[in-house]
Each structure stands twice: as structure tokens, then as C-alpha cells.
Amino acid sequence: MYNQAKEALALPEALNFEVMTVPVSDVLREGVSVGNNKYATIDQYGNIFDFVSNRYKPLSYADAVEAQNESIFNSNLNLSDMVVKWTTTPNGGRMKRYVTFPQEIIEPVINDVTQFGLELFNSYDSSYAFEQTTKAFRLWCLNGCTTPMHTYNARRKHTTNISIEGEGAKLALGIEAFRDSESRYQKWSKTPVLTYEVERLFKATLTKKEGGKYPYTVKTFDELILDWKRTSSDRNVWSAYNVATAWATHVTSERGGFSENLSRQRNAKVASMLNHDLWKELEEG
């Protein structure tokens, strides 16, 4: 099992290449605007990923993947049937890895299974900061609706010296917290809530905005409440949480495809909602 997991987690050959930061003068091409940047990140063939400042310090994909792999193998995770998915841009300028563990599950409500997973982001074209996060993938929908209640998150910009030492210990705490979350979710499923309370919560958090006729985004609010009324027959805190996480996960770009950045922004809003006083009131019942 160890060898199979090691092979599945290995960095794909297409992403295992050297990246260099060189002066713009070495690669400057006619008609290319570089602004105030004085350097460029390139691969071994001279293909340009981005123009950057002298503060940019890329973390290699190989180092990022190796560090997370070490954490996985040093954990007590059940690696049976582990699923690894990679996505990348054609030139390898950014990469994303999802790892899910089918044997690491909780079931807060009957037939609502939640599976433990890890995300890893990195880039050479400045589109992603280095980031790794533990997440819970709810299996009630085909897209794997994720919860923003991640228990471990590390995010480092490439303009700083990135240190990933000690992240393994934090990851271990994230695994433990995931397993402990089952009882919290079960409590939510037994705590009733009224529609007006959910409306007040969404106006103050997910749809809140500054300026304009209303202090919240009316269209988004109406969509959320419609989903609440359509799907939340039990009218409890768990149902309100489901509406918020579904909104954060099921997003589309202007071109009609899934929008990673918009999803991350919405997940951040849901995470903020969970720290709001109104949410704490709902939890207390």
C-alpha cells in the first residue's frame, strides 16, 4: 500500500522542472510590457511564466509536494483507496492537487457522509500563493461540496521566505479536529432555527456590502434564501450551514466554467460567517 500511495502522490514528470529568476533584459521581447518589474521567472527552455519584482522567491513544486507527502506518510491516515487529482495550466505555471481519503469519513447526519481531504496550491506565474489546507468533502453532491471549516491552513506569498517546516504537526492537528467535528455537526442538526434568523445572518455576512440602496447584495441574498426554503425542510443550523457551503462550492465564471478564485473567496466569507456573533447565537439555540 505504501508504494502505491507513494506513486500516486509523486509529482508528475510534466511539473518536475527547474524554474529560474533572471533579469528582464535577458528575455525582453518587443512589445512586451513589464511595468516596474526587473525580473522574470522562466523554465529551462526560456519560456516566461511572469515578470516579477526582486522580492519574488518561488517555492518549487517538488519541495512543496515532498513536504506535504512527508506529512501524509507521518500521519495516521488510512491511505486505502486514496484518490489524487492534479490540475495544471498547459505551461505548468500553476498547479493544484486534491487528495481525498475514502476511509477517513464522518457521518454527522444519516446518509450525509463527509470525507477528509487535502488541497495543495502553488504557482510560478503568480496566480497562486503557496497554500495547503485540510478540508471536508461532503459527498451528497457530485462536485464534492466542501466545507470552509478547515482545521488547518497554511498560506505563504512568494514575496516572503517560505518555511514549511513544522507544517506536519499542524496537519496532524487538522486530522484530529476533523474527526472531532462529527459531534459538533450532529448538534447542529438537532438545533432548530427560524427563517428570519437565517435571513438576518446572511444579510450580515455572506451578502453584506458597503454603499448602495441596501447594505447587502439583493440578488445573492434572494438566491440563498430561495435555496434555504427549497432544501431546508428540517430548518436547523446544519441546514443553514449546508446552504452556505453549497453556495461557496457551486460557482461558475463568466465563461460558464467552474471558478476556483470565486469559490475560494466565497469559502472565506462562509468561514467568516462561522465566527460571527449571529452564527454563535444560532449554535446556542
N residues, the chain: 285
Helix, strand or coil, per DSSP, at residue 173: helix
CA–CA separation, 85 and 75 (whole Å): 20
Report the candidate in 137, 67, 59, 61 with the shortest Cα–Cα distance to residue 99: 137
* Nearest alpha carbon to residue 143 among 67, 65, 85, 197: 85
C-alpha–C-alpha distance, residues 150 and 248, integer Å = 14
Q: What pLDDT band is residue 143 in, cutting at 50, 70 and 90? A: very low
Residues 263, 251: contact at Cβ < 8 Å?
yes
Q: Is 120 exposed, middle or buried (0-12, 13-18, 19+ CB in 10 A)?
A: buried
pLDDT of amino acid 123? 94
- Distance from C-alpha of 38 to C-alpha of 48, rounded to nearest angstrom: 13
pLDDT at 159 over 90: no
CB 77, CB 175: distance < 8 Å: yes
pLDDT band at 33 (very low <50, low <70, confident <90, very high): low
Identity of the residue numbered 263: S
Whole-angstrom distance, CA of residue 101 vs CA of residue 189: 24
The pLDDT confidence band at residue 253, using thresholds 50, 70 and 90, is: low
**Per-residue cell: 214:** 441596501
155 compared with 211, residue with greater pLDDT: 211
Nearest residue to 82 (alpha-carbon basis) of 137, 153, 20: 137
Q: Say what the pLDDT of residue 148 is.
A: 52
Q: Which three cell numbers stand for residue 167?
A: 507544517
What average pLDDT does the segment 17-34 reach?
A: 77
In this structure, what C-alpha cell is assigned to residue 247? 453556495
- Write out the three cell numbers for 201: 445572518
pTM above 0.75, yes or no: no
* E runs forming strands in the chain: 19-23, 39-43, 48-52, 83-88, 94-109, 112-123, 130-138, 145-147, 153-156
**In the chain, domain spans:** 2-13+59-181, 15-52, 190-284
Q: Cell 500553476: give the residue.
A: 94
The per-residue pLDDT for 162 is 64
DSSP 14: G
Integer Cα distance of 140 and 145 in angstroms:
7
Residues 6+ apart with CB under 8 A from 229: 195
Biggest CA–CA distance in the chain, Å, is 65
167 and 132 Cβ atoms separated by less than 8 Å: yes
Average pLDDT over residues 205-210: 94
User: What pLDDT score was predicted for residue 279?
Assistant: 96
Q: Give the CA count within 13 Å in the CB-facing half-sphere of 50.
A: 17
